Structure 1
Amino acid sequence: MEEDEADLVAFLDEKERGEFVFSVKDEEELIAFLMIEHMGYSMDIGLGMRPDLTGQGKGVTFLKAAMCFLRMNDEPKQMTLSVATFNKRAIKLYKRMGFRTSRIYM
C-alpha cells in the first residue's frame, strides 16, 4: 500500500475510506484492518495485519473476530476473501479456516 501514496493517505483517513474499512488499534497504533465489499448476496473481505505481528498465530483469532463482526452486523449468506497470490501464509490460514480457492485474478 505504501507504493501508492494517494491510496495510503485515503486509507489512513477515516473520512476518505468510508464506512467499509475498519481499523484495529492497540492504543492509538494501527495493528490491523478489515475491508468489506458487498457483492450481491455475498460479502468480500480483505484484511491485513502489521508485518511484525504476522507468523505468531494471531491470524486465526483476527479472522474469526472479523467473521463474527460481519455476522453480527450484516448476516451475509456467503463470505469471500481476496488475497494476493504471493501471500502464501495468508492463503494457508484461509484454507485452514475452511475457505477454498474459486478464482485467481492476474
Structure 2
Amino acid sequence: MISSPVIFHVVPMTAAHAKDICGWHYKAPYNIYGWLAWDKMEALGIEFGDPRIRREQYVSVLDQKDNLCGFAQLFPMEGTVRLGIGMRPDLCGHGLGHLFVGAIVREALKRYPSREVDLEVLTWNQRAIRAYRKCGFTITDTYERRTPNGEKPFYCMVYDKSSAKI
C-alpha cells in the first residue's frame, strides 16, 4: 500500500505520455495489456499513435506531483462512453485503483453527462473488477470477445451514477 494519499487528475494525453506508456511492461498475466513500441504506434497511426484519436479520446492520469500514473480512453458510442483504462505497472496492486478509476469516471461524466459509462474487463482480472466495483460499477453482461490470444470471456460493467462513490 502507498503510504501517503494520492490524488489523481486527468489531463489531455501528450505524445510524450503516449511514448512513455508504450514502454510500460506488465508482469504475467497482465502482460496482455501492453502496447506496441511507440514508433510503430505512430507509424501505423493506431490508437493514441494517431494525433486526432489521441486528442479526441485519450487522457493521461497524473498524481498531485504531475507524475504520469496511467491513461484512459473515453470512447464515445451511442448513448454510452466506454472506458479503456491502464495504470502504470508499478502502481498496480497497491489499493489505488478505485481512486484512479474515480478520476477517470469524473472526467467521462464531465465530457458526456447524459451518457452511460461502461467498460469491458476480462473475467479473470479480479484485481481490476474489485476496483471498478468499489467505484460503483456493476456487472451487466458476460460475453466472449476476440483478443490477441483467441476468444476470451469478458464482463461489461456499467457505472451506477446514483452510487455517488466517486
Of 31, 55, 59 in structure 2, the residue corresponding to residue 22 of structure 1 is 59
Let me know the Cα RMSD of the aligned residues: 2.8
Q: How many residue pairs are counted as aligned between the two chains?
A: 106
- Structure 1 stretches of 5 or more lacking a match? none
The 1:2–1:65 alpha-carbon spacing in structure 2 relative to 1, beyond 3 Å, is closer
Q: Deviations over 1:59-98 (max 9, x none)?
A: 1111111111122222143111122333220012112333
Task: Provide the residue aligned with 2:36 in structure 1.
Answer: 4
- Structure 2 stretches of 5 or more lacking a match? 1-32, 146-166
Q: Percent identity?
A: 27
Q: Are the equivalent residues in 2 in contact too, given 1:46–1:83 (CA < 8 A)?
A: no
Moved more, 19-28 or 5-14: 5-14
Given the two structures, how large is their TM-score scaled by the length of structure 1? 0.76
Question: Which has more strand, going by share of residues?
Answer: 2
Question: Which has more helix, going by share of residues?
Answer: 1
Distance across 2 between alignment mates of 1:63 and 1:3: 20
Given the two structures, how large is their TM-score scaled by the length of structure 2? 0.52
